[in-house]
Amino acid sequence: DNIQICNATTAAQYFHLLRRQMHRTTQRPLIIFAPKSGLRSKAYRSPVSEFIDGEFQELLPDPMNVNETAVTRLVLASGKVVHEAREQRDKVGAAMAVAAVEQLYPWPYEAVAAELSRFPNCKEIVWLQEEPENMGPWNGIKGRLFEAHGDSYEIRRISRSDAGSPATG
């Protein structure tokens, strides 16, 4: 646990991430992934109250307003794909929750377990990433997901196929 790898999906999260880094008694390197599209996106905006009263959360729970017992799938994702997945879920009305993993390392075991406990009928955990399988966070976190939840949930990933180059175009 000598580094931190984070991908903040709201302005308040980014602020509190930097604030937490500054106030730590034991400094360790902080790697932040942040897409440029977040600078203009309304989905990344935060109310002023979140800057004043909040703190960095390793996992942002799904803010959906549905019956939690209807959820059968928890989708974990990081970055802008979280917002895209939530939009698509709302459009088709799928019975799934989409949580934003804001800290990829160290892995937020307790936060993921707490989010899973909200959905008593959840049977599946899906890791969603826009990168090809061999380039995104999947290879780093799949062992942690299976270690913590492999006995209780079906675990799979959704991503592009393996690729030898970072861009398809």
Residue 128: give its domain's CATH number. 3.40.50.11610
One domain, residues 110 and 41: no
Q: What is the pTM of this model?
A: 0.91
**167 is a domain residue:** no
pLDDT of res. 39: 72
Owning domain of residue 45: 4-53
**168 is a domain residue:** no
- Alpha carbon distances (Å) from 27 to 102, 105, 127, 146: 19, 15, 30, 30
pLDDT at 37 over 90: no
One domain, residues 82 and 17: no
One domain, residues 30 and 65: no
pLDDT of res. 168: 65
Name the one residue in this structure whose structure tokens are 């690729």: 163
pLDDT at 28 over 80: yes
pLDDT of res. 163: 76
One domain, residues 48 and 114: no
One domain, residues 46 and 108: no
**169 is a domain residue:** no
> Looking at 17, 32, 53, which one is the last position of a domain?
53
Computed from CA positions of residues 24, 25, 31, 36, in that sequence, does the dihedral angle turn out positive or negative? positive
pLDDT of res. 166: 67
Cα–Cα distance measured from residue 145 to residue 38, given in angstroms and rounded to the nearest whole number: 27
One domain, residues 42 and 115: no
The domain total for the chain is 2
One domain, residues 138 and 94: yes
Cα–Cα distance measured from residue 50 to residue 84, given in angstroms and rounded to the nearest whole number: 22
3-17, 32-46, 122-136, 145-159: range with lowest mean pLDDT? 32-46
The model's pLDDT over 66-105, given as tens digits with 9 standing for 90+, comes to 789 999 999 999 999 999 999 999 999 899 999 999 999 9
One domain, residues 15 and 29: yes
**99 is a domain residue:** yes
Using pLDDT thresholds of 50, 70 and 90, give the confidence band for residue 169.
low
**Do 16 and 24 meet the contact criterion of CB atoms below 8 Å apart?**
no
Q: What percent of the chain has pLDDT over 70?
A: 98
One domain, residues 152 and 86: yes
The model's pLDDT over 97-153, given as tens digits with 9 standing for 90+, comes to 999 999 999 999 999 999 999 999 999 999 999 998 888 899 999 999 999 998 999
